[in-house]
Amino acid sequence: MTHPSLAMISQEEFALFRDLMYKVAGVCFSESKRHLVSGRLARRIRECELPDFGAYYRLVTSEYGKEEFHRMIDLLTTHETYFFREPKHFEFLAQHVIPQRLKAKGERETLRVWSAASSTGEEPYTLAMVLMELLGDKHPWEIVATDISRESLSRAQSGVYTTSRLDGLPTGFLRKYFLKGTGSREGTVRIVPELRHKVSFREANLTSSLGSLGEFDVAFLRNVLIYFDMQTKQGVVNRVVQQIRKEGWLFIGHSESLNGLTTSMQQEKPTVYRKQSK
């Protein structure tokens, strides 16, 4: 039975969580998201045996509530993704971007690709499959995957997915890059070790410094800019572009745009940009 005080978050309580999420993650919650915030937090508040949203807010902003703070971030960030999402991007990556970057690099210089909002791992593992098909062991390469959600990163590192998540995989990829679960694991698959080892997962907040990640030849920043206001979007794009090498590439989501932003990226085709050499 729902606790009466958790039936719906008050406007004042919603404002507290809205402002907190904007401060720590740059995420903008409009009034229309009030029901979403209320629903996602209510169950966790009951699990913590707290009386109301106000008590939960005090917990996550306290010195001893750091772990719960990260749980809140997980609950209030979006993790919707799937393998080979927006497939035209991966076709263009394989046919144009990677060949261009290899020409600009030495034989032993590692090709670095970044999945900047990796969620539960479907995007970086898709990138790994594309590069494994294209390069194999002929040229050194690596995928770096970052996300603000610890829970999503943990799930991604395990490489375990339900079979219902595999729609859209090219023919033969399921057999080649996934191990079928048996017994208690029936209905699941796991990314093969040789592919998992090509992807490193790291916790990172796109609204903070990203310099420790190093430079990349290609960055995928897809389906995350839509959650930011223009000021935050500009800051995030600045930080991401700073990590892209000269003449490197940036991919954003098909529902996104860099219109109105100041950037050194030149649009090559819709949602695909290349960093200018100067």
Q: Specify whether the CB–CB gap between 244 and 252 falls below 8 A.
A: no
Parallel, antiparallel or unpaired: strands 178-180 and 216-221: unpaired
**Residues tagged active-site:** 40, 147
